[in-house]
Structure 1
Amino acid sequence: MRVAVCQLNSREDRAHNLAVARGLLERAAAGGAEFAILPEYVDFLGRSAEAPKPEPVDGEFAAFFAAAARELGLWVHAGSFHETGPDAARTYNTSLVFAPNGERVATYRKIHLYDVEIAGRVSYQESRSVAPGEQTVVAEIAGVPTGLSICYDLRFPELYRKLAISGAKVLVVPAAFMLHTGRDHWEVLLRARAIENQCYVIAAGQTGDHEPSRTCFGRSMIVDPWGTVLAQAPDTVGVTFADLDLERLDTIRTEVPSLANRRL
């Protein structure tokens, strides 16, 4: 299966962000991809006071990417967006996956939320504005069982082990990883999740500056089950391709049967 990671620098102009995303999906389709993945909060990164109104999973955001999938004949992972949440104060951070006929085939709500308090340095509570999801999701994408996650989920290996035990052969990570952690942790964590679960990992990231005074690391990449980086995006908006060899995945799982040998 040929896959494409679409790397964006989404900012506060939602219409522009969506237009760029559509253009990258067109490039992915033209490059022969069957499955294209967009980053976290693909439609808006900026000050929370200026964020678009949350939508249901069948709202305008979904309609936009359903149409793109249908018109391009492409499996589309629409990164994530602000879904209408359980109460007035919180949204969900939600991923949607669309089949080439435009049907929505999977919905995943980010489970792990980034809450940090470091006296005198940083105070950030994602849980104040985002409600956590509760269900893991493995979706059949082009016939391949694919486990879904979002950004900060990457730091919780138990989530990915559960996805692998549930049958996933591919793990998807749309993200807006910050520069100061991404430069040391992004590749290490992605390769670790690939090796320990013997899965392909496809990670689409935001890149560059956005308000309020933050910078995303980018370096979207595709990692094979051995932990080898098959492809990595440069530090710019664009599309990066790789071909997934599922027979190689089966060979790795046979020759190093760590999933089969687990006892917990």
Structure 2
Amino acid sequence: MKFALAQINSTTTVADNLDKVRDYAHRAAEAGAEFVVFPEATMSAFGPGLRRVAEEQVQSWRTEMAQVATAAGLSVIVGEFAISGEKVINLLAVYSPNGERRDYAKIHLYDAFGFKESDTVVAGEDPVVIDLGGEDVGLTLCYDIRFPKLFAELSRRGARLAIVSAAWGAGKGKVEQWQTLARARALDSNMFVAALGQADPEVSGVEVPKKGPTGVGHSLVSDPFGHVISSLEGDEALEIVEVDLGGADKAAEAIPVLTNAKLGY
């Protein structure tokens, strides 16, 4: 399986974010990727007016995303928002070149480190595994990475790769936590984990809202044995990754953690 990680910084200007998605998607397609992953909140960075942005632009955004996937000839996996009453839904959407759209609603909301996502966002309820190029792939968003049972469930449903799309909050030790958690989820679920976040605006120079999670970069792919097979630094970048998902089967045979698990894990 060959795919691309598009580590970008989004802003609160949807049109600019769309241009960036279009550019990175076409570059990924030219490199032979089957799909390209963008960060959480690519449609609009977290910040004031997020509900208004979602309400006014969700339909045009979805139309444009479908066109990007079709024109590039690959699936586009991208963080976006929709409206639910007075709040928004934090989504990871998958746009296929054939016009199909699927999505996952973030289950675990980021009520941590002084930020309370649940004030403005409705939590999802259901894990999601989708077919990408004949392979089952699990979808997750950001704070989900701290909850191993979700990844265990994705693996039990047949996923050999889990995607984590994030806008990881900056702070002391947060890069190390991000890297450790990605490798740990791979180890304790017998899956490959592709953890893709917003770039670090302090490195990229992109102007983003000062409050809320804005990204730390350092996206990575871990194999099921916890080895990092691809990684990025802080700046905006496109990384092409090729993996043999058969490695997940070898890990499950060598270290059958899900078969051996007790206590409801």
TM-score (structure 2 length as normaliser): 0.89
Hey, what's the Cα distance between the residues in 2 that align with 1:143 and 1:171? Answer: 15
Pair 186,15 (structure 1): closer, same or farther in 2 beyond 3 Å: same
Alignment of 1:1-264 (within 5 A): 1-49=1-49, 52-55=52-55, 59-78=59-78, 80-85=79-84, 87-88=85-86, 90-104=87-101, 106-116=102-112, 123-180=114-171, 181-209=173-201, 210-212=208-210, 215-263=214-262, 264=264
Q: Offset at 1:213?
A: 5.0
Q: Offset at 1:138?
A: 0.8
Q: Offset at 1:95?
A: 1.2
Which segments of 5 or more consecutive residues in structure 1 lack a partner in the other structure? 117-121
Hey, what's the Cα distance between the residues in 2 that align with 1:10 and 1:56? Answer: 18
Q: CA RMSD in A?
A: 2.0
Q: Offset at 1:49?
A: 2.7
Q: Offset at 1:51?
A: 5.8
Hey, what's the Cα distance between the residues in 1 that align with 2:242 and 2:9? Answer: 25
Hey, what's the Cα distance between the residues in 2 that align with 1:143 and 1:149? Answer: 19
Q: Offset at 1:67?
A: 1.1
Q: Offset at 1:3?
A: 1.1
Pair 47,252 (structure 1): closer, same or farther in 2 beyond 3 Å: closer
Contact 2:175 2:218 in 1 (8 A): no
Hey, what's the Cα distance between the residues in 1 that align with 2:90 and 2:245? Answer: 30
Contact 1:219 1:234 in 2 (8 A): yes
TM-score (structure 1 length as normaliser): 0.90
Q: Offset at 1:234?
A: 2.4
Which segments of 5 or more consecutive residues in structure 2 lack a partner in the other structure? 202-207
Q: Offset at 1:18?
A: 1.3
- Aligned counterpart, 1:119: none
Hey, what's the Cα distance between the residues in 2 that align with 1:98 and 1:55? Answer: 20
131-140 or 44-53, larger mean C-alpha shift: 44-53
Letter in 2 for 1:198: N
Contact 1:46 1:212 in 2 (8 A): no
Hey, what's the Cα distance between the residues in 2 that align with 1:54 and 1:169? Answer: 32
Contact 2:69 2:97 in 1 (8 A): yes
CA offsets per residue over residues 193-219 of structure 1, 9 Å max, x none? 011111111122101232125652111
CA offsets per residue over residues 176-204 of structure 1, 9 Å max, x none? 00121532200000000011111111122
Q: Offset at 1:260?
A: 2.9
Contact 1:169 1:199 in 2 (8 A): yes
Hey, what's the Cα distance between the residues in 1 that align with 2:104 and 2:56? Answer: 13
